Amino acid sequence: MHRFDTLAVHAGREDFPDLGVHAPPIDLSTTYPVADLQVGTASFDALVAGEAAAANPIYARLHNPTVARVEQALARLEGTEACVAFGSGMAALTAMLLAARTRGGHVLVVRPLYGTSDHLLACGLAGIRAEFVQPDEIAAKIRPDTALVIIETPANPTLDLVDVRAVATAAGEVPVLVDSTFATPVLQRPFELGATYVLHSATKFLGGHGDVIAGVICCSEDRARPLRQVRAATGALLHPLAAYLLHRGLPTLGLRVERAQANAQVLAERLAAHPAVARVFYPGLGTVKNAHLARSQMQGPGALIAFELRAGYAAAAALMRAVRLVTPAVSLGSVDSLIQHPSGLTHRVVEEGAKAGCGITPGMLRLSVGIEHVEDLWADLAQALTAAEAALAVDNAA
């Protein structure tokens, strides 16, 4: 069995010798000729039923070979039988909720999680009833119609960690979905810890270059079939060009995560010592819930940092105006560093009480650390912190 870094380079490329190619081919066909109607009909039935492949792809909404290759690669990296790729992370979560409705309409959810995920669950748009609970409440809250348990670890944006094994045990026969976007399979493989489904916004670290929108769910083959059925019916298949870009990013995944994580540890330590910073949220500092899990269920603390400024919202806004190397923008997991304001941007759609209960304050910023030189990153953050303090002093004097 090859090690992770080798798999990241070679997985999903097993058919290249037969094809006589070295780089992944991009199949942009929207439809495929059906010379034999009997074969075509059988292929259509198989794909609509959720099979992974058929003799004829028939139509690109049902199957695409470029997408299938990156699915094979990610399944191997997560240690699952299957992976189902979607046009975005939210498309993946929506498909999961629609598929889960056949088991019941009740879903248990642990906050915090990505703001739009929270909103989709809270508003009931996908036809489910979400009940937000603490991890130690899961066993007591399960009902006959509970179809799914959803957690995100590390959590967005507070970096709280949730014990996947404990949740899987508490859930019993109820499937558990883990959003592992922040960790990536480099640092965490939830399926090996007892999770049923592993979700990634592949837009983030898996793609890694800020040029692809994608979402994936890794799971067993029998649980993948209903997801493919929903994907085929709703048209949520990942575009082949996006699949190509996603696959292209995987060989450097381990290198990127390791470098960004090393940078993040240094920056978190320096931010924690800065007088303008009230609190730093980072597993590598032991300043998040269940930080010990970064040494047990994870292989490191990751590349995301959240920090709260003493002067609150005004200081956060001033810092975002002052950064020059770090980009003030939502998203994360790219080779370049990004900083954003959760309360005003990614989690703006979360109701205020829930934000406050999770510790998402107006003075909090979330930093996605990239692979730049750490001293250049710190120089930019330090000058931005100074500029923010100076701007506040002027405002207060006025």
Q: Considering 251, 275, 298, which residue would you say is the last residue of a domain?
A: 251
Q: Are residues 228 and 356 in the same domain?
A: no
> Of the residues 59, 114, 197, 282, which is catalytic?
114
- Range of the structural domain that residue 299 is part of: 253-397
Q: What is the pLDDT of residue 292?
A: 97
Amino acid residing at 99:
A
Annotation marks residue 114 as catalytic: yes
Torsion region of 109: left, alpha or beta (phi above 0 gives left; psi -120 to 50 gives alpha): beta
Is there a catalytic annotation at residue 355? Answer: no
Q: Nearest 5°: CA angle at 256, between 188 and 341? A: 80
Whether 377 contacts 337, CB under 8 Å: yes
CATH number of the domain that residue 302 is part of:
3.90.1150.10
Interval 126-144: pLDDT, tens = 999 999 999 999 999 999 9
Buried b or exposed e, range 255-281, using 16+ CB within 10 angstroms:
ebbbbbbbbbbebbebbeebebbbbbb
Do 99 and 228 contact (CB within 8 A), yes or no?
A: no
- Is 0.85 surpassed by the pTM of this model? yes
Residues 287, 194 share a domain = no
- Interacting residues of 88 by C-beta distance below 8 A, sequence separation 6+: 201, 203, 213, 214, 215
* 32 is an active site residue: no
Residues 173 and 268 in one domain: no
**Same domain for 183 and 284?**
no
Which residue in 118, 160, 163, 179 is the catalytic one? 179
Which one from 76, 111, 189, 204 is the annotated catalytic residue? Answer: 204
Task: Give catalytic status of residue 61 as yes or no.
Answer: yes
Q: What angle do CA 275, 323, 282 make, to 5 degrees?
A: 55
- The count of domains in the chain is 2
Residues 260, 188, single domain; the answer is no
Whether residues 315 and 195 fall in one domain = no
Distances (CA, A) of 94 to 77, 106, 242, 395: 23, 15, 19, 45
Query: Do residues 170 and 269 both lie within one domain?
Result: no
Q: Residue 340: helix, strand or coil by DSSP?
A: strand
What tens digit of pLDDT does each residue of 324-376 get? 999 999 999 999 999 999 999 999 999 999 999 999 999 999 999 999 999 99
Q: Are residues 274 and 242 in the same domain?
A: no
Q: Which of 201, 227, 251 is the last residue of a domain?
A: 251
Residue 87 shares a structural domain with residue 145: yes
Looking at the structure, do residues 247 and 257 belong to the same domain, yes or no?
A: no
In this prediction, residue 391 has a pLDDT band, given cuts at 50, 70 and 90, of confident
**Model pLDDT, residue 349:** 96
Q: Given the residues 61, 129, 225, 270, select the one marked as catalytic.
A: 61
- The answer on 78 and 193 residing in a single domain is yes
pLDDT-based confidence at 398, cuts 50/70/90? low
The CA dihedral of 353, 355, 358, 359, to the nearest 10 degrees, is: -110
Judge if 280 and 201 occupy the same domain. no
Strand partners, 218: 83, 198
Could you give the angle at which helices 65-78 and 240-249 cross, rounded to 10 degrees? 30
Domain end call among 222, 251, 280: 251
Share of the chain above pLDDT 90, in %: 96
CATH code for the domain in which residue 83 is found: 3.40.640.10
